[in-house]
């Protein structure tokens, strides 16, 4: 493969907390940034070294995960404001409950207060034609005061438009389920619970879906590295001594 | 729904189907609650093939993760790769070159035909028609041979790269594809002769597992299942990608939304794919196969959701970049997983034998359901 000879990535978990996208205001991550690159020996800004042998030696695993010292482009997502008839109507209807209308690479999203998500999605479905819930998923940003994003991707057949609705929640918060508006959310929310441990209030069947019921961790949370899974379960049920 | 307490009622029987069952197309386990032959409810138990693909993605660079996506829907690996490459290209604000786009379309449509053929063969086998399987496998071989000649692999192809293609097409690529098109259309007629008007086939499939348009939208069901319910929606037309807007083709639809209609829609989709193939092969633009993308792929901080019309429905990738060489989060929106959820709705009131037909026309691949 000619396009990426970098030998990194395999062994190390994400030890250095990367900055969080999707944060509108400059975050404390900025302050932490100068400290992070310190242990770095050589700037990975040189993708050029063609012989991986030298590059691999000079570039120990931790360096790969640390932030490069080159002044990066904005550490937050470079969003542009999103304005349309839809945003006007929604802003009128929900006011301060919607904190942000933005768009990035031509894709629009809105950020909603957690307790207003269901009314907003309901209004989008019944008043604005967004009748297809494409996906429900989450992203974990351990550094943030509200570390979890829950993202609803909606599509409207009549407008041929796709938007995302985001809420930000704290660990242990229980956002309300969207299954009563879109039946498809049943399995999708169960998967979010399975992977992130976010329990949805009012969900008819809030249990794990892909992992075994007795599994103890929520794998897609950042504190769980790829090697640090439920070793006890693997040992007991699969008879693999190392637990891997 | 839960199955708790069902044993207390003497008229109900709980039957376990799978995970080792030939008609579940992999390791799907369905718990059926029965009243005689009638299905009162179902519950799917999935996850037997869970490999944690989304977690792996967070520990690999963008380019390193590309081969992994082929292992989700291994029947349509090329489509998976296309969706992933498009999503990363969106984050990079790059676009594949015209030549790469045309080759991508050709390979993806070949793969769609291959996927539909595998579906048709195994579905017919489930219903009790053994012959079509051999015919379908015979023709699918042609598509696999083209993949093999192009990139050396037959199933998990890793055919595309972020920014374009790694390999130039081989000598005689166009000829091979055209030969396949000429050979293939009469074969579709042959399948249809065997099945479409076949009395047993019609009786087994019509009015079985009906899912109407409103239910499809409610359950997020996409792809041929949605079109069989009469919704003329195909991402290749609605939100074109990779140059699909240049090609002239139709979106086949049906009205009823039963298993027979889903069969018809898929048969017609294969014909439409041949139509696209002919147009694409006739006009592959000259030029480079790779766009200018950096050697080390490091998209700026941001996020994007890109979806394509995979053979089974909407396949989406939601990627969050933190500005490093590894994605912060990759979410795969798998069509099989979402479509399978509607099984309970479709199977209620059906007979046990119909459940097999319904699972068949849902066209799931468990590698994609479980990821």
Q: What is the pLDDT of residues B311-342, one digit of tens each?
A: 999 999 999 998 888 899 999 999 999 999 99
Question: Is the domain of A180 the same as that of A218?
Answer: no
Structural domain contains residue A26: no
Mutate to test the interface with B, among A155, A159, A213 (most CBs of B within 10 A): A155
Judgement on whether residues A186 and A90 belong to the same structural domain of the protein: yes
Contact A174, A185 (CB under 8 A): no
Is B55 at the interface with chain A, CB within 8 A?
yes
Q: Is residue B371 part of a domain?
A: no
Give yes or no: residues B38 and B65 share one domain: no
For residue B1, is it within any domain?
A: no
How many Cβ contacts (< 8 angstroms) between chains A and B? Answer: 167
- State how far the Cα of B331 lies from the Cα of B324, in Å rounded to an integer: 17
CB-CB under 8 Å, B54 with A186: no
Helix (H) or strand (E) holding B343: helix B343-347
Mean pLDDT taken over chain B:
88
**pLDDT tens per residue across span A136-179:** 999 998 888 888 989 999 999 988 989 999 999 988 888 889 99
Question: Has residue B102 been placed in a domain?
Answer: yes
The two structure tokens encoding residue B287:
């030029």
**CA dist., res. B303 & res. B320, Å (int):** 4
In terms of domains, do A222 and A187 share one?
Answer: no
Residue B60 lies in a domain: yes
Q: Do B324 and A74 touch (CB under 8 A)?
A: no
Question: What is the domain count for chain B?
Answer: 2
Which residue would you say has higher pLDDT here, A201 or A11? A201
B202 in contact with A, Cβ within 8 Å: no
CATH number of the CATH domain containing A149: 3.30.460.80
Please check whether residues B35 and B179 belong to one and the same domain: no
Domains identified in chain A, total number: 2
User: At B308, is the secondary structure helix, strand, or coil?
Assistant: strand
The values of phi and psi at residue A186, to 5°, are -55, -65
**A91 and A176 co-located in one domain:** yes
Q: Are B266 and B119 in contact (CB under 8 A)?
A: yes
Whether A143 maps to a domain, the answer reads: yes
* Distance in angstroms (rounded) separating the CA atoms of residues B75 and B116: 9
Best residue in A111, A137, A225, A227 for a mutation probing chain B (most B CBs within 10 Å): A137
Q: Which residues pair with B161 in a beta bridge?
A: B164
Contact A143, A17 (CB under 8 A): yes
Range of the domain at B59: 53-366
A204 belongs to a structural domain: no
Chain B hits for A153, Cβ within 8 Å: 305, 316, 318, 333
Whole-angstrom Cα distance, residue B311 to residue B293? 28
Q: Is residue B19's pLDDT more than 50?
A: yes
Q: Which helix (H) or strand (E) holds B140?
A: helix B131-151
pLDDT of residue B86: 92
- Sheet containing B313-321, strands listed edge to edge, beginning at the edge strand earlier in sequence: B302-310, B313-321, B327-333
Q: Is A151 helix (H, G, I), strand (E, B) or coil?
A: strand
Q: CA of A74: which chain B residue's CA is closest?
A: B301
Predicted confidence at residue A7, as pLDDT, reads 43
What pLDDT is attached to residue B330?
A: 92
Residues B285 and B347 in one domain: yes
A184 and B294 within 8 Å at the Cβ level: the answer is no
In tens, the pLDDT along A69-127 reads 554 445 777 788 888 888 888 888 888 888 888 888 888 889 998 888 898 998 888 88
B259 and B317 share one domain: yes
Structure-token match 């369905």, residue found? B30
Q: Is residue B105 part of a domain?
A: yes
The answer to whether B232 faces chain A, any CB pair under 8 Å, is no
Say which CATH number the domain at B82 has: 1.10.645.10
A174 and A236 together in one domain:
no
What whole-number distance in Å separates Cα of residue B173 and Cα of residue A17?
A: 47
- Assess whether A146 and A85 both reside in one domain: yes
The C-alpha atoms of residue B194 and residue B188 are separated, in whole angstroms, by 10
- Confidence tier at A8 by pLDDT (50, 70, 90): very low
Is there a single domain that holds both residue B59 and residue B40? no
pLDDT at B27 over 70: yes
Do B37 and B73 share a domain, yes or no?
A: no
Count how many Cα atoms sit within 13 Å of the Cα of residue B171 in the half-sphere of its side chain: 0
> Are residues A143 and A231 both part of a single domain?
no
Which segments of B110-241 are extended strands (E)?
A: 160-161, 164-165
* Closest residue to B324, CB basis, from A18, A160, A195: A18
ipTM for the predicted complex: 0.84
Quick one: B133 and B221 in the same domain? yes
Statement to judge: residues A219 and A189 lie in one domain: no
**Which residue of chain B comes nearest to A22, CA vs CA?**
B302
Q: Does A210 touch chain B (CB under 8 A)?
A: yes
Contacts of A104 in chain B (CB under 8 A): 302-304
Is residue A150 a part of any domain in this protein? yes
The verdict on residue B177 lying in a domain is yes
B175 lies in the same domain as B314: yes
pLDDT digits (tens, 9 = 90+) for B185-240: 999 998 888 888 888 888 888 888 888 889 998 999 999 999 999 899 999 988 89
Owner of token pair 């999503």: B87
Q: Are residues B210 and B307 in the same domain?
A: yes
One domain for residues B16 and B146: no
- Residue A182 counted as domain residue: yes
Provide the shortest C-alpha distance from residue B211 to chain A (in Å): 14
Question: Is A226 inside any structural domain?
Answer: yes
* pLDDT given for residue A116 in this prediction: 87
pLDDT tier, B9 (very low <50, low <70, confident <90, very high otherwise)? low
pLDDT at res. A241: 76
**Nearest residue, CB atoms, A139 vs list B46, B218, B329:** B329
Do B34 and B117 sit in the same domain of this protein? Answer: no
Q: Judge whether A201 lies within some domain.
A: no
Cβ separation B63–A132 shorter than 8 A: no
Residues A158 and A242 in one domain: no
The answer to the question of residue A208 being in a domain is no
What six digits make up the tokens of A136? Answer: 């429900």
Q: Is B321 in the same domain as B224?
A: yes
If asked whether residues A109 and A160 sit together in one domain, one would say yes
Residue A26 has pLDDT above 70, yes or no: no
Whole-angstrom distance, CA of residue B293 vs CA of residue B162: 8
Q: Give the residue on B whose Cα is nearest the Cα of A194.
A: B47
Note whether A241 and A154 are same-domain residues.
no
Selected residue with higher pLDDT from B254 and A2? B254
Chain B 307-336, CB below 8 Å of chain A: which residues? 307, 314, 316, 318, 320-326, 328-329, 331, 333
Mean pLDDT in residue range B248-264: 90
Domain extent for A169: 80-196
Residues A152 and A228 in one domain: no
A215 to chain B, any CB pair closer than 8 A? The answer is: no
């Amino acid at each position: 493969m000619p396009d990426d000879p970098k030998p990194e990535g395999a062994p190390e978990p994400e030890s250095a907390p990367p900055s969080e996208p999707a944060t509108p205001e400059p975050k404390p991550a900025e302050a932490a940034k100068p400290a992070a690159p310190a242990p770095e020996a050589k700037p990975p800004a040189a993708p050029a070294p063609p012989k991986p042998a030298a590059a691999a030696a000079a570039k120990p695993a931790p360096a790969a995960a640390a932030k490069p010292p080159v002044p990066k482009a904005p550490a937050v997502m470079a969003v542009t404001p999103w304005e349309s008839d839809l945003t006007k109507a929604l802003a009128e209807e929900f006011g301060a409950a919607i904190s942000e209308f933005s768009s990035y690479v031509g894709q629009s999203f809105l950020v909603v207060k957690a307790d207003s998500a269901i009314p907003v999605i309901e209004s989008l479905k019944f008043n604005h034609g967004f009748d297809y819930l494409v996906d429900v998923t989450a992203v974990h940003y351990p550094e943030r005061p509200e570390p979890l994003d829950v993202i609803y991707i909606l599509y409207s057949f009549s407008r041929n438009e796709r938007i995302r609705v985001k809420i930000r929640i704290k660990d242990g918060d229980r956002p309300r389920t969207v299954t009563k508006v879109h039946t498809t959310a049943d399995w999708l929310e169960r998967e979010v619970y399975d992977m992130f441990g976010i329990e949805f209030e009012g969900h008819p069947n809030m249990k794990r879906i892909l992992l075994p019921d007795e599994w103890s961790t929520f794998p897609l949370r950042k504190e769980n590295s790829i090697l640090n899974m439920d070793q006890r379960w693997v040992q007991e049920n699969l008879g693999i001594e190392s637990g891997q | 729904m839960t199955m708790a307490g069902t044993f207390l009622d003497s008229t109900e029987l709980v039957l376990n189907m799978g995970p080792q069952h030939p008609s579940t197309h992999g390791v799907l386990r369905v718990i059926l609650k029965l009243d005689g032959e009638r299905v009162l409810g179902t519950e799917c138990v999935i996850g037997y093939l869970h490999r944690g693909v989304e977690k792996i993605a967070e520990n690999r660079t963008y380019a390193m993760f590309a081969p992994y996506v082929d292992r989700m829907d291994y029947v349509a690996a090329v489509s998976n790769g296309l969706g992933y490459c498009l999503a990363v290209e969106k984050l990079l604000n790059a676009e594949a070159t015209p030549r790469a786009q045309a080759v991508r379309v050709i390979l993806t449509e070949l793969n769609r035909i291959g996927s539909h053929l595998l579906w048709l063969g195994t579905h017919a086998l489930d219903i009790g028609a053994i012959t079509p399987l051999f015919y379908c496998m015979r023709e699918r071989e042609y598509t696999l041979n083209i993949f093999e000649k192009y990139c050396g692999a037959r199933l998990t192809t890793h055919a595309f790269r972020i920014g374009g293609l790694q390999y130039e097409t081989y000598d005689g690529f166009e000829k091979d594809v055209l030969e396949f098109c000429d050979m293939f259309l009469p074969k579709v007629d042959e399948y249809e002769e065997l099945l479409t008007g076949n009395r047993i086939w019609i009786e087994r499939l019509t009015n079985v597992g009906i899912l109407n348009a409103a239910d499809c939208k409610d359950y997020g069901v996409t792809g041929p299942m949605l079109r069989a319910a009469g919704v003329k929606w195909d991402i290749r037309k609605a939100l074109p990608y990779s140059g699909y807007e240049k090609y002239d083709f139709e979106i086949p639809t049906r009205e009823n939304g039963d298993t027979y209609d889903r069969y018809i829609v898929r048969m017609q989709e294969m014909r439409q794919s041949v139509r696209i193939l002919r147009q694409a092969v006739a006009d592959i633009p000259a030029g480079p196969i790779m766009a200018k993308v950096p050697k080390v792929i490091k998209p700026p901080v941001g996020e994007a959701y890109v979806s394509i019309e995979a053979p089974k429905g909407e396949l989406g990738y939601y990627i969050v970049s933190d500005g490093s060489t590894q994605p912060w989060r990759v979410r795969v929106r798998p069509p099989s997983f979402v479509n399978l959820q509607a099984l309970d709705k479709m199977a209620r009131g059906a007979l046990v034998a119909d459940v097999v037909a319904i699972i068949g026309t849902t066209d799931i691949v468990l590698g994609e359901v479980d990821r």
